[in-house]
Structures are given as structure tokens and as C-alpha cells.
Amino acid sequence: MSNDPDYFTYMSKCLSEVLNDIDLKEDMVLRGRRAWLLRESLMTIASRLKGLQQTVYMFGSLTEGATTQGLISDNVCLICNESVNILTDSDDWKPGHLNLMSIHDASTPPGYCLLRRLPFENLYPHFTSQTFDVRKWVGNNSELDCELDGPSIRVKGQPGYNDQDMVFAFRCKTWPTSAQKWFTEEGIGRWPTKEIKSFAANSGCFLVGVGSKGSEMEKYEYRISFSQVERCLMFSLNITQIRCYVLMKMIIKTFIHPDGDSVISSYICKTVLFHCIKHTYSNLWQESKLLYCLTLCLSVLQYCVLSGNCPHFIIHENNLLSGRVTAEFRTVFIEQMRRIILDRGIQLKYVNYDDFGHLLQCKMQNDPLEMLLYSAFISRNIAVIPGALLRDTGKCIQDFHKHILYVLKHKEVNTAIRYIRKCISQLVSFHGAGSKLKRIACKFLAAVFSSTLGSLTASCSISSSSSVSSEALKWFDASLDSDVSSSRLKKASAFFCAGDMNATYLILEDIRKRYDLNMVEPVCRCTLLRSHPAREGFKTSAHCHNEGAFKHVAAFCVKFLRCESCCVPKELQYEMYRSTLAERPLRHDNNQWLDLAVIDSLTYLLFLRYKTCGRLGKHTEQKQALNDLVKAIDMEPNLGHRETALSLVGQILEEEGKLTNALRFFIASFNEQPENNAAKMLICKLLSKIINSDC
């Protein structure tokens, strides 16, 4: 078959179909980009709400949509400090900023620069050296309890989460002289387009605190980063070009760096792809020619390693392979590439990522039994990516809400109300001036903040008049689309504590109808536990909708500040004091929620239903609610606050006089979470009751 003149077309079709079936297709690429750009907007807005003049960017294969599940790609979070003014001309000096001049001369390696304070700089007197070293500044001022590693901070991932690289950078609005000629270069396929070059000219570049290895000024040099422009270039590619890039990464990871080394990085593969696209006609890059395109890219990569030079796409004098390729590696790499190129795609059957090699063999053999197994594999994995994207976006929203509540954890109610009002006012301002995704981000954040403001306002009115004020209801109503349940549960909780059982019951019935156990997924970012696979209904909804699916299929955990205590049942108030004096100094920064009362939506729904039905005399429904609560604790895999639910059941049983059973649940709660758990207090209280009753 390899001698068939149509072989390349046939193999290209097989490769494209398999990549399509593992979700590397246009709609999934666009969906992934949207989710990560929304997260980028959420992070930037959250930074501005904290009063930080910085813009957050997410760069990498995940944001580009140029990866698969099996490749387990990472993103880099670039944090751009907008309060620092980088100049290329002294006339651009700005008062009230730290002004630094970007210096390029014959001694500066291509792709790098120096930063020097202007002579008339009066701010930041503690920077006394003539040349400015940003790494010391970042290390002294970063809020993160992390270790600096060159230009980046590596934040260690919790179970189920990848490590996160965070890079601090400054923005330079003017491109360096060495990069200016890129604007005038014309590719055969007229790519990059004039629109891309116009965007590049307007967006400028970043300066990242890492020097050229071996340079005499390495300690003070800054790498010139064109990440924003490169992301724009990636966004302009068609699906065949993206698939070619992904296949290159699979080949490198399988045949060249199976042990995880990175002489040939993904960035080098991307750069080679850019050069190939620029120097070929656009009609080459189509599905029927994918194998030919891949062979071209591998051949160019092979030549780069052979010559020891891979020119940066924008600053050609910057050799990305400088100092990376040994003679031994060159020999092994050239031979491996030669074998792969001559085999014309057959070697790809050994690629294990996403079971790609096996699926490719099934596709090529076209055996009925193999195709049946192929279809079963694809069916099992359909909609996994959209479900993960939706759930992770929800966790991102929860992260920022949790941070704001952490700031207010010990504030009195009126201070908290003023702070949340200010946040919402800023979100309204950002909404009016932002892009479409920034407006969506503002809408989500405003919804969760409105829920908190409604509860704070209700807490004040319940304290003074034992009723939920009309203003509190206004804020509750503004928050109802945050997700399926959490905002509605806070509203129900307020009515319950105000003594209006009929209103509470109606709200809980509405939530119960919305909370489809086959579809709604708990979304919690407090404990950072490894998430179990999402249920099929959730994945299906995520596949059909973007982030708008939150109000139908996501259930955020419910959070209460101490100053909201008038809206919190007494059983849940214990959770606000879960840490002992000995435990408090040992808590990690990630445990910002431990001074709050926090509970999963599903368990709080059932607990409130139990209490409300009891007050209304609906004892059959009350008993069913307790049974459902115990079942949920046992059966729901994605609960983030199982220990809290166990403690609530223990308190219910204690109230019913079943003290031995109550103790079992308190102990189960303690075993679930031995530290920072209110169950310790409840066990002591119950044991005291048992001892006194025996006396």
C-alpha cells in the first residue's frame, strides 16, 4: 500500500479521522480557547478587585486548543505588571510609575535586553543599582508562598491538579529593533496576514526576568517574549495545521523524549510549524495532505537539529537550539527522524497518547470487530473535555469568591456590606468597558457576590426585625443564575432563620426540582480533592452549551461569613469555629475557607428540607429528607465537605435523642477530616451530655 500514489491521501484521511474522534476538531478547539480565555478574564478582573494593577494572560497549548487529553499539556500564567512603564524613548516617561529604559546594544544577545533606571527617576528609592533586577523585586513582593525558579514560580498542584507555572513580566509597547523587520517580511502564503501584524504592532511584547545562559550579564538580562502575538498566530491556524503540531508533539514525546527530557520542546515544534506555514502555499494545509505536511515539518526539524540552529520565528538571530544539542543527541535524533519519515506514518501506530496508535491501526485495518471496539472507545470519551472545561471554570469562579470572603472573614457586617457593594460596583464598571468574555466573567462574579450581599443584608434585617428585607430579596434575585442551587439555598436559609417556613419550603421545592441527580454536578474548590468523573448528563449538557450551562448543571458549595450568622442555622454555625488554637497556626494558605461555614449544595438542600418539614409537621417528607441526606453522603462521589454533612446528621440524631448513633456520625466526620473539624467540639459536647445523663 505504501507504493500506492494515493497512499498519502489515504493515510492523511486516517490520521485526521482519528484525531477528530479523540476530540481534536474545530468546535472543541474553539470551546477550549473560549474556556481558557474566560478564565484569563476572571483572573484579571479578580486581580483588579484586589487593587493590583496587573493583567493576567494564559499562554500554552491548552489555551491554543492545540493538545489532547493524553498529552497532559500545561499552561503558563503570565502576570503583567501594568504599574511599571517600559520605555524605548525617554520622552515616554510617566509620572507615578516605575520607569525603566529598555536597552539593546551589541553586547546584548538576540532576543534579550537590559532594563535601566532613568537618571531622573525619583520613585522607588530602594532600587539603587543602575541596572534593575526584577527577580529580587518579585521575590520580595510576591504574595505567593512559592519558590522562584528563574523567571517563573512553580505552584505545586494539589491531588488531581497539574502544577502551575506563573511568570511575572513587564509590558513593552514598542518592539525591539531586531524584531522590526518581521513586519516587512512576506511569506509565500501571505501569512502572517496584515491583520496579525497590525495586532502585533499594537500589542507590543513582554519582558521576562531570565537571561541568556552563559552571557556576562545573564543576571540582569530580560528575555523578550512575543507570547501574545504567538497566541494570535496559533488562533489563525486551520485544523490541519493544529493537528500537524499535535502529531509533532506526540512523535517527540514517544520516540525522542519518552523519559520526559525536553531538548526538543513544544515551543521548538511550534516555531518549526510557523516557519513551514510561512514558506509554503496555503492550499497545502488541508486534511487530505496532513501526512505530507507532517513529513515536511519533521524534515525541517531534522535539518534544524543537524545544523544546530532553529531560528526564532520573529527574531531570527535568536537560535532556540543554542547550547541544547549534543553530538550524541544529534546522531540519535537524525536517525530516529529518518526512520519515521521513511516509514511514512506507519511509526505512528506506536504512539500511546490517547490510545492514538491503537485507534489508527483499527482505522487502517477497517476490521468490523476492531471498528466496534473503536466506536466503544470513542463513545466512552465523548464530551469528557467539555465537561472538564465547564467544571474547571466553575472552580475558578469559586476560587475568587472564596478569596473575597477570606478578606472579610473577621469583618463586621456593615464593613462587609460596603466591601461587597464596592466589588459589585467595580464589576459593573468593568462590564461596561470590557470585551464579550470579560463581560461574561463580570456577570458570573457579580452573581456570586450578589448572593453574599443578599445574605449579609438579610442577616441585618433578621437581627433587627426577624424578617428578610426587600433589599436583601433584590440581591438574592440578582444572584439566581450563578448556578443551580447555591444562591437559592442562601435565600432559603435566610427565610428559615427568619422563621418563614412556608417561603423556605417553596424555595427548597423549587431547588429540588432543578437538582437533577443524573445531571447536576457539585463544583467545589475548597478542599482541592481529586474529582471523580462527571456524570453523563453533566457532560452532555456541557457538550451542548458553553459556560451558560452553570445555571442548569453546576451546584456550587454554599459559603457563609461569620457576620452572616443570622442567616445560618445553629447546627451549621459550628463550622465557623472548626480550628483549635493549636491547629490555626498550621493551616495552609489554600485553606482560606476554614473560618467560614461551607457546605455542599446537595447536603444543605436535604438538611434544610429536613428542618423545614419538621417545623411544618410534614413528618413523612422529613424522614425521607434524612434518608436522602445519609444516602447522598454515602453515594455522591464529588462532595467537597463530606465531614460537614456527617456532623449535621450527627446533630439531627442528637436532637432526636439517638445519642449513640449521633456519636457514630461525629466520629465518622472526624475520621473523614481529623484536622480543622467542628466534629471535635461536637463530640466533646455530646460526651458531656451522655455522662451527665448517666449521672
Question: Which pLDDT tens digit goes with each residue over 507-534?
Answer: 999 999 999 999 999 998 887 666 677 7
Across the range 573-584, mean pLDDT stands at 91
Give the whole-angstrom CA distance, residue 530 versus residue 640.
Answer: 10
**What ranges make up the beta strands (E) of 337-439?**
none
Eight-state DSSP code of residue 84: E
Please state, in angstroms and rounded to a whole number, the distance separating the CA atoms of residues 241 and 294. Answer: 9
Residues 6+ apart with CB under 8 A from 74: 60, 61, 62, 162, 163, 164, 165
**pLDDT reported for residue 126:** 42
pLDDT computed for residue 525 by the predictor? 83
Separation CA 401–CA 419 (nearest Å)? 13
The region of weakest confidence among 195-204, 363-372, 558-567 is: 363-372
Whether the pLDDT of residue 147 is over 60: the answer is: no
Cα dihedral 463→468→474→476 (10° resolution):
90
Q: What one-character DSSP code corresponds to residue 319?
A: B
d(CA 496, CA 613): 11
Q: Once rounded to an integer, what is the mean pLDDT over residues 489-494?
A: 98
Cα separation, 646 vs 665, in Å, equals 6
Residue pair 305/330 in contact (Cβ under 8 Å)? The answer is: yes
Whose grid coordinates read 509597547? 173
Please name the residues in contact with 163: beta carbons below 8 A apart, sequence gap of 6 or more: 74, 154, 155, 156, 157
Q: Is the pLDDT of residue 138 over 70?
A: no
Nearest-angstrom CA–CA distance, 269 and 267: 5
Query: Is 127 in contact with 111 (CB distance < 8 Å)?
Result: no
Of these ranges, 121-125, 277-281, 351-355, 388-392, the one predicted with the greatest mean pLDDT is 277-281
Q: What is the pLDDT of residue 97?
A: 76
Confirm if 434 and 41 have CB atoms less than 8 A apart.
yes
Measure the CA–CA gap between 484 and 386, rounded to whole angstroms: 18
In this structure, the number of other CB atoms found within 10 A of the CB of residue 218 comes to: 13
pTM of the predicted model over 0.75:
yes
Q: In angstroms, rounded to a whole number, what is the distance separating the alpha carbons of residues 404 and 423?
A: 9
Contact 572, 530 (CB under 8 A): no
Of all residues in the chain, the percent with pLDDT exceeding 90 is 65
Q: What is the mean pLDDT of residues 133-155?
A: 47
What residues contact 65, with CB distance under 8 A and at least 6 apart? 28, 29, 30, 31, 32, 33, 242
pLDDT, residue 547, reads 85
Task: State residue 128's pLDDT score.
Answer: 36
The span from the CA of 166 to the CA of 78, in Å, is 6
Domains of the chain: 1-24+237-381 (1.10.1410), 83-236 (no CATH), 384-694 (no CATH)
Q: Name residue 208's amino acid.
A: V
- Mean pLDDT across the stretch 248-264? 91
